[in-house]
Amino acid sequence: MADAQVLYNETVAATTAASTAWVDLASIPAASFTANKTYLIIANQVCNHASAAQATRVRLVHGTTPTVFDDASLAYEGLNAAQKHELSYMFLYTQPATTELVKLQISSSSTTTVTNFLSQIIAIKLSDDFASGTDYFWNEDLTDYTMTATPTAKATTASFTPNGTDRWLFIGHMIYDVVGITTQIGFELYDSVAGVLNQTSQEGEDGTLDFLGHNQYWVGVPTNAARTLAVRPWNSASAVMLASRVIAINLSKFAQSASTFDAAEVAPAIAPTWTTVATIAPTPTVTGDWVYISFLNQDVNTTACDFVTRLQVNPSGAGLVSDPDFGTTEIPNTDNWDATDEVALSFFKLRSLSSGGARTINFDVTTDASVSRRVEDNGLVAFSVALA
């Protein structure tokens, strides 16, 4: 069977930036792409900053010049020097006749040091193998929108009707200008039939410097009913949505897939004990590459919050390994801005899984001694690169 073209790159080394000059991290070279083809691009960047008074800057770019994707220059000021935070992107990008690289870059707003913990990009070619309006539904809204306290649909797909048996992956994305720093800013991934599927919100730290971007996921088998999927931002203090995007993908286009999603709150174990908040165990019919994506929201209940996560896989039956592999330092996302924050966190990977048995994939979380901290909307999805 044919394979979809899926490209992946990551940087887990502690690469640093200590000036306003941009430092390259995860990058997919131009030669890997196919000219004139459309790709779904998802990217994550986790950093911290040695100064709580300066901004971490992140951008997603294409081409050697380079050119920044629409509204993709992001920045945030941390609550303290230990805080590690994730910024995320989602774009539909059609490569030109002369293909261009796609990469993440970081820099500092001053001479204090920004340190990379995770930088990752995945690109899935939709052209040829996936029909727009049948196999996937996409929309984006690039008009600046001053939010109100009422969730309001912005990027919204055309109406589509799942057959009630196929598994679908829904993703929403928003980039926004914080403006005010004393109220929650959030968005919902909203299904016109099922209602709110997932939601995230947080305060900013600097009303001038903070420009944030997050992704929200849902995976499962939607009912056989006509629906639209939308990103619905909200804020009571005039934060500005710069861009929103939404996509629904029918995973039956791939030869195999597996998923789990649970909206319930889970209290993670105290370090060094791990709690598995999502697990799946697909059985590959042939050895080959799989994409797996993990996601959750941190319902912190405190600003002094230390969560640590890891994504583990048993690729060949020999046992679980962390992948992305950070050695003894797994993915932290710590010390949020406000006790009411519900911060989105997601990771993904492209890896070969061997046939011959179930291949367990776990999404694990641990925290410090506080009993009030929760994670919710925990999910995990995996699908073969091989097409149906």
Give per-residue pLDDT as tens, 99-131. Answer: 999 999 999 999 999 999 899 999 999 999 999
pTM, to two decimals: 0.96
Q: How far, in whole angstroms, is CA 182 from its chain's centroid?
A: 25
- Whether residue 164 is predicted with pLDDT greater than 90 in this model: the reply is yes
CA distances to 14, 182, 271, 345, 360 from 321, rounded to whole Å, are 20, 41, 19, 20, 10
Using alpha carbons, list the distances in angstroms from residue 304 to 334, 336, 367, 372.
8, 7, 11, 11
Q: How far is residue 203 from each of residues 74, 141, 235, 318, measured CA to CA in Å?
A: 15, 23, 10, 43
Is a pLDDT exceeding 90 seen at residue 146? yes
Would strands 38-49 and 114-125 be described as parallel, antiparallel, or unpaired?
antiparallel
Express each pLDDT in 264-276 by its tens digit: 999 999 888 999 9
Instruction: With a cut of 60, say whether residue 328 has pLDDT above it.
Output: no
